[in-house]
Amino acid sequence: MPEVSLSHAKVRKVSLAEITPNRRRGGDLRVVLGPATVQARSGFLGVLTLEPGEYVSEHYHPYSEEFLYVVSGGLVVRLDGEPLRLDATDGVLVPIGVRHRVENDGPVTATAVFQLGPLAPRPELGHVDTEPLPDDGAR
């Protein structure tokens, strides 16, 4: 990854193509800027791609709020079970502790950018799954 060394920090450029997709909860989820890629300490930013019919299983974040912005296509975000439609250029803030599930119910691929912060004290505390994972997490 290309870097720029400043007097007080290193700045690293990260490409989406460099990131291995995480499909555990469904869809193609890639954390582009986070602790593992740029040593971020306050949160992380990534890209979610969902094909028609795909979803990210319901979960919540006990320490972080999540910003979700739809770049293309459309999504249904279920917040504590209540559906909220997001189309391209729409965004939503998912508060700390709110259960959420993201679904592509449309005919085209949907792409969204997400950001979470602050970070949980340990990575394994960052997500709490509240429904079975797609394919029992075998993806």
So where are the chain's domains? 16-124
Give tens-digit pLDDT for 32-62: 999 999 999 999 999 999 999 999 999 999 9
CATH code for residues 16-124: 2.60.120.10
CA nearest 26: which of 50, 47, 45?
Answer: 50
Q: Is residue 32 within 8 Å of residue 47, measured between CB atoms?
A: yes
DSSP 8-state symbol, 19 = S
Give the DSSP H/E element, type plus range, for residue 36.
helix 35-38
User: With a cut of 50, which residues of the chain have pLDDT below it?
Assistant: 137, 139
Who contacts 128 (Cβ-Cβ below 8 Å, separation ≥6)?
59, 60, 61, 62
User: How many C-beta neighbours within 10 Å does residue 138 have?
Assistant: 8
The one-letter amino acid at 94: V
Q: Is residue 106 within 8 Å of residue 31, measured between CB atoms?
A: no
- Identify the pLDDT of residue 5: 67
pTM for this predicted structure: 0.90
3-class secondary structure, 45: strand
**Cα separation, 59 vs 46, whole angstroms:** 17
Average pLDDT, the chain: 93
